[in-house]
Amino acid sequence: MKVLVLNCGSSSLKYQLIDSDTEAVLAKGLCERIGIDGSCISHQPVGGEKVKEEADMPDHTAAVKMVIEKLTDEKAGVISSLEEIGAVGHRVVHGGEDFSEAVVIDEAVIHAIEGCSDLAPLHNPANLIGIRSCQAIMPGVPMVAVFDTAFHQTMPKKAYLYGLPYEYYRKYKIRRYGFHGTSHDFVSKRAAQILGKDRKDLKIIVCHLGNGASVSAVKYGESVDTSMGLTPLEGLIMGTRSGDMDPAILSFLAEKEGLDAAQVIEICNKKSGVLGLSDGASSDFRDLVLAAEEGNEQAGHALEAYAYRVGKYIGAYAAAMNGVDVIAFTAGVGENNAEVRAMVAQYIGYLGTNIDPERNRIRGEEVILSDEGAKVVTMVVPTNEELAIARETVRLTKKS
Ligand code: AMP
């Protein structure tokens, strides 16, 4: 079966068409500036030539139509008609407490996703627009929602509750939900597979280090803690997000700079992290490593603070699980950035593991980084959220 995997943002739409029998990607692409002047589509048939062109996309329905047009195009296409698409898998950011696993989309599910929009006001409405657009263009094609939060629904209360009056949890469901769940699930499963072990026998710490970043503690196959919270702002220092900080800073900064709460949160989301710490040098880790090598001290400090926070979370999650067997690095930085991994290595030796400098040179591949016989295995496991979404989509639509 051919599965269309969609990830809709407020003005963008990322897609992949995956052949679920071979798990090969047939084509992928990105629609940008949807609803804004100058909207364009980049379409890449795998093995073929990438096309990028301006295309009028006043809304997401037009963008989905454009994707179908490209997928069935005589030159750049990979299928002959829309009928070849057997199912659609949608990445949905927030499933709240309603969804602890992926589900086949029906009206009740759409209603429940709408109900979670309060918790992810920038993301869930965009995801819903993508779902509605597909319903309009491909009526009858089964669709599945795969939630970023679902894998972390196994967290115990002691991990997900904040130290706030309990009534706010009761009234507003304020709690830690966690994100990147599809990736933490995929990577922890794959790590166990690579080691020839059952995930149910392992304590795994997954470090998903991308532009957005989070760490999770996966104990015997279940997420028991994760660093992102009610929103993706909590936890690690990220590309542009601050991560953990004293909440009193918010009102302090608002008063000093004459800002309202939304403006301060915008700074914490968009202007902080390694971008802010490096005094605006970059949010991209390649640039930062280069800048630090060329003597930019702030870039160096940003990288040190970043790696230190990752190291602290690894320590915390080893404690949370009363031990750890595997530490797995994944996502853009975790898979590719040897310098950052080497910096994190400073904080994991006491656990009985290391990062071998030779093996650490390998980029973007599955590799065991620690020495043979190390008590804890440290490894790189590339993530593949689209494939995970396609697998879930097939699993659920074959049953239904
Ligand atoms: P992601 O959000 O997972 O796409 O990760 C984006 C981050 O990964 C950026 O900061 C990139 O600098 C980093 N990254 C991606 N590819 C490489 C690479 N080949 N070497 C070093 N860093 C990389």
Ligand 1: atom nearest CA of 209 is 3
Tokens of 148: 């970023």
pLDDT of residue 185: 98
Segment 76-112, tens digit of pLDDT: 999 999 999 999 999 999 999 999 999 999 999 999 9
Q: Which of 148, 185, 225, 325 is catalytic?
A: 148
State the DSSP H helix or E strand holding residue 226, giving kind and residue range, or none if neither: strand 222-226
How far is the centre of ligand 1, averaged over its atoms, from the C-alpha of 332 (Å)?
4
User: Which fold does the domain 198-385 belong to in CATH?
Assistant: Nucleotidyltransferase; domain 5 (3.30.420)
Are 145 and 128 in contact by the 8 Å Cβ rule? The answer is no
How far is the centre of ligand 1, averaged over its atoms, from the C-alpha of 381 (Å)?
14
Query: What is the pairing mode between strands 326-330 and 377-380?
Result: parallel
Amino acid at 142: P
Residues 198, 35: Cα–Cα separation, whole Å: 47
User: Which fold does the domain 2-147 belong to in CATH?
Assistant: Nucleotidyltransferase; domain 5 (3.30.420)
Which residue, among 331, 326, 332, 313, has the nearest Cα to 369 in the 3D structure? 326
How far is the centre of ligand 1, averaged over its atoms, from the C-alpha of 7 (Å)?
19
pLDDT of residue 121: 86
Residues 396, 399: Cα–Cα separation, whole Å: 5
Cβ contacts of residue 45 below 8 Å, gap of 6+? 26, 27, 76, 77, 78
Asked if the domains 2-147 and 198-385 are classified in one and the same CATH topology, the answer is: yes
Q: DSSP H helical segments within 46-148, as ranges?
A: 60-71, 107-115, 124-137
Cβ burial of 365 (10 Å; 0-12, 13-18, 19+) is: exposed
**Assessment of whether the complete model's pTM goes beyond 0.85:** yes
How far is the centre of ligand 1, averaged over its atoms, from the C-alpha of 235 (Å)?
19
Ligand 1 environment, Cβ below 6 A: 210-211, 239, 284-286, 331-333, 336-337, 363
Ligand 1: atom nearest CA of 334 is 8
pLDDT of residue 225: 98
pLDDT of residue 399: 57
Ligand 1: atom nearest CA of 212 is 2
How far is the centre of ligand 1, averaged over its atoms, from the C-alpha of 67 (Å)?
26
Residues 50, 125: Cα–Cα separation, whole Å: 30
Mutation to probe ligand 1, out of 330, 337, 365 (largest number of atoms < 8 A from CB): 337
Instruction: Give the residue whose CA is nearest to atom 14 of ligand 1.
Output: 332
Instruction: Give the residue whose CA is nearest to atom 4 of ligand 1.
Output: 332
How far apart are the two ends of the chain, measured CA to CA in Å? Answer: 15
Ligand 1: atom nearest CA of 288 is 12
Query: Could you say which residues of the chain have pLDDT below 50?
Result: none
Residues 207, 392: Cα–Cα separation, whole Å: 22
Q: Catalytic: 148?
A: yes
Cβ contacts of residue 338 below 8 Å, gap of 6+? 360, 361, 363
pLDDT of residue 10: 83
Mutation to probe ligand 1, out of 91, 333, 383 (largest number of atoms < 8 A from CB): 333
Instruction: Give the residue whose CA is nearest to atom 18 of ligand 1.
Output: 336
The single residue listed with the structure tokens 């494939």 is 387
- What is the residue extent of each domain of the chain? 2-147, 198-385
